[in-house]
Chains A and B, each alone.
Chain A
Amino acid sequence: SQQGEEDPQALSIQEGENATMNCSYKTSINNLQWYRQNSGRGLVHLILIRSNEREKHSGRLRVTLDTSKKSSSLLITASRAADTASYFCATDAGGYSTLTFGKGTMLLVSP
């Protein structure tokens, strides 16, 4: 299985601080994606990084990918209370494969 494993499982920070979440996976990938899930809702796509990319930015989000270590990190800078959610990484092996989701990191940002 190439399931992603996020760590930490849960993270509690203050508003304004940065939050870093990590994801590890087991096999070769075409791309890795990060999704956000607010409590009891569906997932929302945040960012996609391809296997030939090392870093990508989108607003306050920064994603890195190290294919040699089979790991990725998601950095949220200057966190806000509205960032409170669960964050999942998902790996895509390409072709006709489907996404495989990790267990997620629960982020709590306190005002």
Chain B
Amino acid sequence: EADIYQTPRYLVIGTGKKITLECSQTMGHDKMYWYQQDPGMELHLIHYSYGVNSTEKGDLSSESTVSRIRTEHFPLTLESARPSHTSQYLCASSGTGETQYFGPGTRLLVL
């Protein structure tokens, strides 16, 4: 089991609210990633970071933003949640190798 954590695990929230999904890892990995996954579907990369103060947008356009102020922490923020943001959000990290280690995910439901 990898040392990567996500909170909350489940979140039900109303439209227009600001939310932050937390992701932290204790492995000292430089690279971190956020994926969005709808049920039964593939993962889509929405953000990634190769180190502190480095963030990039992924293949799937997203209204969310991320920050990387500390190596171990990579939070994702939605300024104004909408029903179209309902999905599962998976955080992952990788070190010097190519393998990615995933957190348990956050299931978001926007009403």
Pair B43/A101 contact, Cβ less than 8 Å: yes
User: Which A residue's beta carbon lies closest to that of B100?
Assistant: A99
Pair A33/B99 contact, Cβ less than 8 Å: yes
User: Which A residue's beta carbon lies closest to that of B31?
Assistant: A98
Complex: how many Å from CA A48 to CA B50?
A: 21
* A59 sits at the interface (CB 8 A): no
B29: chain A residues within 8 A (beta carbon): none
Pair A88/B98 contact, Cβ less than 8 Å: no
Q: State the interface size on chain A (CB cutoff 8 A).
A: 25
User: Which A residue's beta carbon lies closest to that of B90?
Assistant: A42
Q: Which of B11-19, B66-74, B77-85, B103-111 is found at the contact surface with chain A?
A: B103-111
Pair B99/A103 contact, Cβ less than 8 Å: no
User: Which A residue's beta carbon lies closest to that of B1?
Assistant: A44
B88: chain A residues within 8 A (beta carbon): 40
* B45 sits at the interface (CB 8 A): yes
Contact of B100 among A30, A45, A96, A102 (CB under 8 A): A45
A102: chain B residues within 8 A (beta carbon): 42
User: Which A residue's beta carbon lies closest to that of B103?
Assistant: A42
Given known A-B contacts A31-B98, A48-B98, A98-B58, A103 and B104 have beta carbons under 8 A apart: no
Complex: how many Å from CA A43 to CA B100?
A: 9
